[in-house]
Amino acid sequence: MSNTAELHQPSVAITGAGSGLGRAAAIKLAAKGYRVFGTARSEQHVADLREVSGGKVTLTLADITDQHAVTAWVDQVSDELGERGLDVLINNAGTLTPGPLEVIPLDDIRREFEVNVFGGLAVINGFLPALRKSRGRIVQIGAVTGPFPAPFDGPSSASKAAFEALADVYRAELKPFGVMFVMAQAGNMRTGGPAKTAAALKRLADSMTGEQRALYGDVFGKFSDALNGMQNAGLSAEASADRVIELVEQVPPPIRAAVGDDAEQILRLVLEKSDTELDALRLQLIGAGDA
């Protein structure tokens, strides 16, 4: 690659790049010529992606809920990019805490918000100086459960809904600087999450008291079966990454965009249906019927 080409090599930072959607996006963007930086939570993921990408992806061990770790990563990436700035931030890291709101420990709900909301805010705010330099773009990986909260998905739905509001605010506040903000509203994705989700569902079910099991056990079991089935049939990591890369490069960028056919369908129904109809749909989606 010539020096001139290197000067114009686009850059991207991806949180949660060690597995799933983030990993697939990192590999594909590196292959397209992007300079790729990312966070991961294990040395194994760092080594794996270095090998798979031929050293084209630079991963850093970082927990986005640790402000010091975020600041160190942002400073490292920003220093390497210099005055060119960062072209794209894909804010992808997230977690899922399923279960009845009455049963989930409050500390677990707080952890969900620490990862999905406050960690995301820390990363965005950290990179804003670099994004302003390039008049870059933020692609926030959200979910259809932001505009369409689902039973037994309360913490995740609420955290995704919070970022729907934050996206509107960021978009207005950053427009004068030429920084664009895109909400990617994902449906079911087969991106490494199904096994983790199944384990989380089992942990919650096993932790229920006898009284809680009598109240929620049957319908939560149906929900677990339905969610496991939907996730295993969801969009692959590669297909999800292809769609996200479209949002990275689309001109002009969309404000919000569905990731997956099921996401498009649900978002359309949210606009068309009444609250009563949407409540019935929520129960159908979790396998509870008219319960």
Q: Is the N-terminal amide bond of 10 cis, ω within 30° of 0?
A: no
Q: Of the candidates 47, 207, 64, 184, which has an alpha carbon nearest to the alpha carbon of residue 127? A: 64
- Average pLDDT score over residue span 198-227: 84
Q: Of the candidates 46, 6, 49, which has an alpha carbon nearest to the alpha carbon of residue 237? A: 49
Q: Is the dihedral of CA 257, 259, 261, 267 positive or negative?
A: negative
Q: Is the pTM of this model over 0.95?
A: no
pLDDT class for 1, splitting at 50, 70, 90?
very low
pLDDT class for 5, splitting at 50, 70, 90?
very low
pLDDT class for 225, splitting at 50, 70, 90?
confident
Amino acid at 165: A
Residue 98: what are its φ and ψ, rounded to 5°? Answer: -80, 155
Q: Is the pLDDT of residue 239 over 50?
A: yes
pLDDT class for 232, splitting at 50, 70, 90?
low
Q: How far is the C-alpha of 3 from the C-alpha of 273, rounded, in Å?
A: 55
**Angle, in degrees to the nearest 10, between helices 67-81 and 120-134:** 10
Tens of pLDDT along 262-283?
999 999 999 999 999 999 998 8
Tens of pLDDT along 84-133?
999 999 999 998 888 999 999 999 999 999 999 999 999 999 999 999 99
Q: Is the pLDDT of residue 3 over 50?
A: no
pLDDT for 40 equals: 94
pLDDT for 86 equals: 98
Dihedral, CA of residue 162, residue 164, residue 170 and residue 175, to nearest 10: -170
Q: How far is the C-alpha of 75 from the C-alpha of 151, rounded, in Å?
A: 40
pLDDT for 291 equals: 45
- What residue spans of the chain are helical by DSSP H? 3-7, 20-31, 43-52, 67-81, 106-113, 120-134, 154-174, 193-207, 210-232, 237-249, 261-272, 275-285
- Average pLDDT score over residue span 141-155: 94
- Average pLDDT score over residue span 176-204: 83
As beta bridge partners, residue 90 has 14, 139
Q: How far is the C-alpha of 200 from the C-alpha of 103, rounded, in Å?
A: 13
Tens of pLDDT along 151-171?
999 999 999 999 999 999 999
- Average pLDDT score over residue span 141-148: 96
Q: How far is the C-alpha of 241 from the C-alpha of 285, rounded, in Å?
A: 25
Tens of pLDDT along 20-37?
999 999 999 999 999 999
Angle subtended at Cα 61 by Cα 57 and Cα 63, rounded to the nearest 5 degrees = 125
